[in-house]
Amino acid sequence: MKIYTKTGDKGTTSLFGGTRVAKHHIRIEAYGTIDELNSWLGLIRDQEIDVHSQEILTIIQSNLFTIGAILATDPKKAILKNGKERLNISKISSTDIDLLEKEIDAMNASLPKMTHFILPGGHQTVSYCHIARTVCRRAERQAVLLYEKVTFEDSVIAYINRLSDYLFVLARKLSKDLKVKEINWIPNEKH
């Protein structure tokens, strides 16, 4: 497989199905941000964190590839002439969303009650989590914008939404694991 094709040299790229669109098209922005998020998750997974979190992050990364493929598929060319779906992969299911919720609940059970917003930071790994969370929120905004123009599986939006919650709680868990003090944001108080 050749890495460079030169077909994008004039500012367009091809969706799955062959349709060419501008590289700034909202569909490209949406799945490009999912790709960016996936890279941040790889960086978090590469840190010295517990094996269970690494395994969950690997599952999430795989699901993000699925989401990227869904977003990269031209809806007008999603069904082949023989009636089969062009994108022959598992979709994001309620089971995938349930996994995130179970992980959030399990991590939350061991954390102190949150009484204020928390300032991101305290440790490099925790900061990576917060960056990933904000990239996830951007991906969600872009996916919702795309969804308003051309619908796709609702589960994609729900998954991205739940993932940002997961990343916030993971950041808190990692703060605890790394013995990092969380700094509460208290309006008008200087730290």
**187 in a structural domain:** no
What integer pLDDT is reported at residue 86 of this predicted model? Answer: 63
**190 in a structural domain:** no
**86 in a structural domain:** no
Angle 158-96-102 (CA atoms, 0-180°, nearest 5)? Answer: 95
**30 in a structural domain:** yes
Neighbouring CB atoms inside 10 A of 71's CB total: 26
Question: In total, how many domains does the chain have?
Answer: 1
What integer pLDDT is reported at residue 116 of this predicted model? Answer: 85
What integer pLDDT is reported at residue 50 of this predicted model? Answer: 97
pTM equals 0.87
Of 118, 136, 171, residue with least CA distance to 38: 136
Do residues 17 and 76 lie in contact, with contact meaning Cβ atoms separated by under 8 Å? yes
d(CA 159, CA 145) in angstroms, rounded, equals: 16
Encode pLDDT of 23-42 as tens digits. 677 888 898 999 999 999 99
Which CATH number does the domain housing residue 172 bear? 1.20.1200.10
**191 in a structural domain:** no
Q: Tens-of-pLDDT digits for all 191 residues of the chain?
A: 667 676 566 676 665 665 666 567 788 889 899 999 999 999 999 999 999 999 999 999 999 999 998 998 877 665 566 667 666 678 999 999 999 999 999 999 999 888 888 889 999 999 999 999 999 999 999 999 999 998 888 999 999 999 999 999 999 999 999 999 988 788 876 65
DSSP run (H or E) holding 8: none
d(CA 58, CA 23) in angstroms, rounded, equals: 28
Burial zone of 96 (CB within 10 Å; 0-12 exposed, 13-18 middle, 19+ buried): buried
The residue range of the domain holding 166 is 12-80+91-181
**85 in a structural domain:** no
**116 in a structural domain:** yes
**46 in a structural domain:** yes
